[in-house]
Amino acid sequence: MRRRILQATLLAVAVTTVVLGLPLGFSALKLVQDLTGADLSTRAQQIATLLDEQVANQRPIDLNAVRLAVPGGARLVVRTQAHDYVYGPDPGEDPLVQSVPMVQSGTVTIAAPSAPVRTQQLQVAGLVLMLVVLSAGTGMIVASVTARRLADPLRHVASRAARLGAGDFRPDPQRHEVPELDRVADALDASGAALSQLVQRERELVGDVSHQLRSRLTALHLRLEALAAVDDADVSEEAGAALEQAERLSAVLDDLLAAATAARARDAEPLDVTSLLNQVADEWREPLRNHGRTLRLKIGDELLARATPARLREAVGVLLDNALRHGEGPVTLTARHGGGTVLIEVSDAGSGVPDELVPHVFERGFSGHGSTGVGLALARALVEADGGRLELSQARPAMFEVFLPVARADDVLGLLWKPEPTPR
Q: In whole angstroms, give the CA distance from residue 333 to residue 401.
A: 10
Q: Are 368 and 315 in contact (CB under 8 A)?
A: no
CA distances from 161 to 158, 194, 317 (A): 5, 14, 22
Model confidence pLDDT, tens digit, residues 128-147: 888 888 887 887 788 777 77
- More confidently predicted of 52 and 263: 52
Question: How high is the pLDDT of residue 246?
Answer: 81
Q: In whole angstroms, give the CA distance from residue 19 to residue 13.
A: 10
Does the pLDDT value for residue 293 go beyond 90?
yes
Residue 290 binned pLDDT confidence (cut-offs 50, 70, 90)? very high
Q: In whole angstroms, give the CA distance from residue 151 to residue 232.
A: 79
Question: How high is the pLDDT of residue 335?
Answer: 94
Model confidence pLDDT, tens digit, residues 388-411: 889 999 888 899 999 998 886 555
Model confidence pLDDT, tens digit, residues 146-200: 777 777 787 888 887 877 766 666 677 788 777 887 888 888 888 877 777 776 6
Question: How high is the pLDDT of residue 369?
Answer: 53
Q: In whole angstroms, give the CA distance from residue 32 to residue 263.
A: 78
- More confidently predicted of 16 and 285: 285
Does the pLDDT value for residue 424 go beyond 50?
no
Question: How high is the pLDDT of residue 372?
Answer: 44
Model confidence pLDDT, tens digit, residues 95-124: 888 888 888 778 888 888 888 888 888 888
Q: Are 169 and 195 in contact (CB under 8 A)?
A: yes
Question: How high is the pLDDT of residue 373?
Answer: 47
* Cis peptide, bond prior to residue 95, ω within 30 of zero: no
Highest mean pLDDT among 72-76, 84-88, 234-238, 342-346: 342-346
Q: What is the pTM of this model?
A: 0.47
Does the pLDDT value for residue 347 go beyond 90?
yes
| Backbone φ and ψ of 253, nearest 5° | -60, -45
Model confidence pLDDT, tens digit, residues 235-288: 788 888 888 888 888 887 777 766 665 555 556 678 899 999 999 999 999 999
CA angle 198, 362, 310 (to 5 degrees): 75
Does the pLDDT value for residue 320 go beyond 70?
yes
Amino acid at residue number 408: R
Question: How high is the pLDDT of residue 88?
Answer: 84
Q: In whole angstroms, give the CA distance from residue 321 to residue 272.
A: 22
Q: Are 350 and 326 in contact (CB under 8 A)?
A: yes
